[in-house]
Structure 1
Amino acid sequence: MDEEGWQDEAAGGAAGSTEGRGGFASRAASGDRAAQARARAHEKAAGVRKKSGGVLRAARRVKFDFIAAENAHDGLDVKFMCRELGVSRSGYYDYLKRPISQHQRDDLALVPMIHAEFQKHPRGCGSRMVTGALRAQGQPISRKRVRRLMTEEKLCHRLKRRFVHTTQSKHERAVAPNVLERDFAVKAPNKVWVSDITYLHTRRGWCYLAAVLDVGSRKLVGWQVGPTMEESLVLGALTYAIEQRNPPPGLIQHSDRGTQYAGRAHRQVLVDHEMVCSMSRHGNCWDNACIESFFSTLKRELPNDHVFDDWHAVDRAVFEYVEAYYNTRRPHSALGYRTPNEYEQSLAV
């Protein structure tokens, strides 16, 4: 081969090798794009798996509901989700064409009833109260079902506030024995009253509420709000209850061992009206559980989310809560989900 021929062949070979390298680079770039697409698909799959969680092991109906929701909300590909969840596309589309079940129709009918019961209460209510109220209306429904529907509808009642101890039991005054002994199964009013004091916060400091609750009907029969926690506070609540109820002799008046309830003036009122004085054991709040439960409910359901201006504002709020809601409209589980007034009226018939 002469020198020119050799140079031509070398040039052709170099050109061919350049073309080969270019083709390889193109194929490599295409491979990179495919790898990136596969990575994105895996990321999508991971997202679906993370969102679905236990749905991957659930029934097909739940998986189909999940696919429909994700497709409507995020526009995720149906084919991709069916493959990841292990169901067929034909089965999914066939499921969409089916009419809803009777169970689903019942759920749709129950939802507005649950909303209506929830809205009756200033701060909502829990599944237990909703279930009891619906059963009282003739709806045979389980609490588990109500809890599920309330979760789906994002209905959540206001949480309880923390407990603060207010009893001042370190004193030298005489205390009475525990006559009640936690026997809260009282079916008639004006047999047992329970009393206690709690605190409420205002912009001008703490104020205090003394309350008297009739265990037989769970009705609040007396209360007094004031800026100080003195014996006059509990005397005002007890006097109001006596004026409203005119109880017969022998009524048990139970309280804790606080210095206000062990005072001479308070004990004299009990003697004058032939009431039996009963006090909780030392440091045992469960002996007065009924009134503690009422205070917890009151603080959770008072209509003010902000701090009250002063104790007069608290007095007005408590009056409205008791007279316009608690005694008249709030169902109680111990009364078969009837209100205190309804329960007393049923006994009077």
Structure 2
Amino acid sequence: MAVSYHRPTKIIVDLQAIQQNLANEIKHNQGKDVFVAVKANGYGHGAVPVAKAALAAGAMGLCVATLDEAIELREQGIEAPILLLGLLPLSAVAVAEEYRVAVAVASLAWLKQAQPEIRHALKIHLAIDTGMGRIGFQKSEDVQQAVNYLLSEEVFDFEGIFTHFSTADQADTTYWEKQHQRFNDILTGLSHLPKYVHTSNSATTLWHEGVGNMVRYGIALYGLNPSGNDLDVSYPLQPALSLESELIQVKKVAKGEGIGYGKTYVTPKEEWIGTVPIGYADGYVRKMQGFHVLVEGQYCEIVGRVCMDQLMIRLPHAIEEGTKVTLIGKNQGAQITLQEIADYLDTIHYEVICLFSERIPREYL
């Protein structure tokens, strides 16, 4: 998808905010290595610029979800440790080794099949499924067998062991404690522990005492509360992303006229309608009809269905074409947050930012 530099819509990323969030986390978790998650294009913020800014501010490594995300970082000159959190196809083992990527492993069978493909030393982090139901070993005896195999084969570097909590962002800690205990029980039964033991994602590091000596710092790096509005964060988070555009046309529309596909909005009286060049192809979805944007510090409702490339808003009066429109962020004292959009869409802010397509240029402060 081509990046649309020749229109006024853009995402603005404040790298200083990202670095400040990281600095607060490093201070909060002294003595632990902080790896930052830059998967999904840095949660929509831009993986490479975010990675470079985070590493400059003290991050010890990076986490990705796919091997290609790791390759992109390496090809942009990033030499820091990279951990692949998704499972690697056997066909890509040599590529992971070539690009010096540590990989998550969920079965002894995978290790045995991968062994002949490895020439030097592939870094391994054993994934433990303590109740997420996603990837990982479940039984202590299976984990011990995998550890024994790793230690017996020189082509493996047993670097880490980890789990992922499914309810760390909830006030009820019952299930978190159950997962936490399961992981501790597995660790207790092991004859050897690797360099890294890690359970702390953003939510765990904010509200719990995670096990181990490494943190996987994800959504909080970008200044967003993992729980939405449910729990208060233990230190300030600075949102790093703004989304801005401009009015490309402003017109007076007579009473009784339909706006947008399907005529889902009909002007109840003569109104000023503004058009903004962003739509669902950019990840600003159709369900945003009825929400609002900011123009000159005023909330302006999105009227009619959001189109693929444009949307229409109701203006309080005639406003000059070219005037800034804020879809996320601050505008003359007023603000729209990602959490407000997530609440409106009945989803989470993770999904909202990951939907923003490559068509929107990213500008870095």
- TM-score relative to the length of structure 2: 0.22
Q: Hey, which of these two has a bigger chunk of strand by percent? A: 2
In our comparison, the structure showing a higher alpha carbon Rg is 1
Per the normalisation by structure 1, the TM-score is 0.23
Where relative contact order (Cα < 8 A, 6+ residues apart) is larger, the structure is 2
As a proportion of its length, which structure holds more helix?
1
